[in-house]
Amino acid sequence: MNFDRISIPAHGQRIGLDEATGRPVVPDQPVIPYILGDGIGVDVTPAMIRVIDAAVAKAYDGARRIAWVELPAGERSFQATGEWLPQVTLDAFQHFRVGIKGPLTTPIGGGIRSLNVAIRQTLDLYANVRPVYYIQGLPSPVRHPEHMDMILFREATEDVYAGIEWQAGTPEADKIIRFLRQEMGVTAIAEDDAAGTGIGIKPISQRKTRRLVRKAIAYAVAKGKASVTLVHKGNIMKFTEGAFRDWGYQEARENFSAQTVSEQEVAAQHGGQAPAGKVVINDRIADNMLQQILTRTTDYQVLALPNLNGDYLSDAAAAQVGGLGIAHGGNIGDEVAVFEAVHGTAPKYAGLDKANPSALLLSGVMMLDHMDWDDAALLIRQAIGRAITDKMVTYDLARQLEGATELSCSAFAQAVIDRL
């Protein structure tokens, strides 16, 4: 691979891969490629790097250090080179295996639907993993935000992300509609509506469902979680969403039979009490699940979801514990992982040193967890908690917290560093 366009520090080492476990093998000075990002990326990404560097230095007494490598992408890259997502960026994430990105503007027109989707699909980062838990002191619209402690495994390469769509009135839409009406006997699109109907197709496959559910169950088993819930809309879309549920159960039966038990088996064979040490596999219809996260929050720990359900559920869950300024995640494949905040570029705050860097910082903490740099991760988690309890927060939280001190993005990063 040709990395002439990017500057790799001489001391930086490539993260390896343990073929047997699929886990990264992390040297003491790993190269971590990152995308600064558009909009508030210029504020939150440097803040994240400062805090992580400080925590790593403190946790390991200087014996470990990240060799950060900036990669071109997004609007800044487009203005400089005419490329939204240069090949070198994809190659570097692939080669160095673990990276992090700031938010990217979605180009309007020009053939790219979304840079984030392109990165996930090209690198096959099929599990969009989003932990949602409460940090003491955060403002919340619910009475018991501390009940929320879930992790969502959202499929990130198919379903609506496959992007199979045709605009109403185009020859392509016309062709598909004619095919559906004439050859497939579809009567749901009336003749009168044919010219004014857009078409979308969502594929959900057995292989991609099973590898996603496998990740969710493996996580639940490793962390001793009580259950994994398959969230679907199988009552309406039987052969996509319903198949997601069925293949999910099949994955549990065939690959985790010793560690899991289905909710039906718990009821029929175990008197309603899950056997000790077994992860219960259950399923819920997506609309019901949206109310369950509010009404029976503590019943759920690990969720596995097709793409669109995961999008809705993760924002709804995040809203219960602090919202977009906090919501974080990672895109994880079999060999490569790229971490990112859930929020976008928030253009109205771009460059104002105002946005909350916590979401990207907590994504960085997930990255440290993924690298097994647990001590540094823990230091940051605790320090963010202390800053929030001290009510030293950015504007988004300050406006909801009585008596809070409103800090800029960089001052919040410093407040976290001061509490490491």
| Cα 134-232-288 angle, rounded to 5 deg | 60
CB-based contact 2:89 (threshold 8 Å): no
Nearer to ligand NAP, 266 or 360 (CB): 360
Distance CA 147, CA 130 (A): 17
Placement of tokens 């990672």 in the chain: 330
Catalytic sites, residue numbers: 161, 233, 287, 311
Placement of tokens 């993993």 in the chain: 129
283 in contact with ligand NAP (CB under 6 A): no
Q: How many residues bind ligand NAP (CB under 6 A)?
A: 20
Nearest distance from residue 407's CB to ligand NAP, in Å? 12
Per-residue x/- mask for ligand NAP, residues 20 to 59, rule CB under 6 A? --------------------x---x---------------
**Segment interacting with ligand NAP, rule: CB under 6 A, options 54-62, 211-219, 276-284, 340-348:** 340-348
CA-based R_g, the chain, Å: 22
Placement of tokens 């289905």 in the chain: 262
Per-residue x/- mask for ligand NAP, residues 393 to 412, rule CB under 6 A? ---x----------------
Which residue, among 406, 336, 329, 386, has the nearest Cα to 51 in the 3D structure? Answer: 386
Q: Which of residues 93-122 bind ligand NAP (CB under 6 A)?
A: 103-106, 116
Closest residue to ligand NAP, Cβ-based? 344
> What is the token pair recorded at 118?
């392109």
Which residue, among 110, 80, 114, has the nearest Cα to 340 in the 3D structure? Answer: 114
314 in contact with ligand NAP (CB under 6 A): no
Which residue, among 122, 106, 83, 97, has the nearest Cα to 5 in the 3D structure? Answer: 83
Nearer to ligand NAP, 221 or 407 (CB): 407
345 in contact with ligand NAP (CB under 6 A): yes
Nearer to ligand NAP, 325 or 330 (CB): 325
Q: Phi first, then psi: give them for residue 290, nearest 5 degrees.
A: -65, -30
Q: Which residues bind ligand NAP (CB under 6 A)?
A: 40, 44, 103-106, 116, 324-325, 340, 343-348, 355-356, 359, 396
